[in-house]
C-alpha cells in the first residue's frame, strides 16, 4: 500500500475536475480525498496499491479527454505521504 498527494495547477476549479477525480477513484477502489485550495489548485490524496494509484491517474486522464473539455492541467506536483490507517472510501472535501 502507498499513499500519494497530487497537487494539480491550471484551470481545475469550477470545471468538474473534483467530480471526475472522485469518479476515477471510485472506479478503481482507492481511499482518500480531493479538495479545492484557496490558491486555485486542487489537492488529491489517494491510498491503495501502486497499480491502483497509477490506475486512478490513467482513468482521470481518459475522463478529462472524454468529458473534461474545460479542464486544463498546467502542472502536477506529486509526493508520497504516510498511510492513513482505517480510512474508508473516497471523499470530496470542502
- The residues assigned a catalytic role are 18, 36
Q: Which cell numbers in the block locate residue 14?
A: 469550477
Nearest Cα residue to 4 out of 73, 72, 50? 50
Instruction: Quote the CA–CA distance of 71 and 15 in Å, as a whole number.
Output: 6
Amino acid at each position: 500500500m502507498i499513499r500519494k498527494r497530487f497537487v494539480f495547477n491550471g484551470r481545475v476549479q469550477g470545471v468538474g475536475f473534483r467530480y471526475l477525480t472522485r469518479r476515477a477513484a471510485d472506479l478503481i477502489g482507492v481511499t482518500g480525498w480531493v479538495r479545492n485550495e484557496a490558491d486555485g489548485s486542487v489537492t488529491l490524496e489517494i491510498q491503495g496499491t501502486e497499480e491502483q494509484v497509477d490506475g486512478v491517474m490513467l482513468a482521470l486522464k481518459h475522463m478529462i479527454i472524454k468529458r473534461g473539455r474545460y479542464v486544463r492541467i498546467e502542472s502536477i506536483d506529486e509526493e508520497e505521504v504516510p498511510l492513513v490507517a482505517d480510512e474508508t472510501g473516497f471523499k470530496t472535501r470542502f
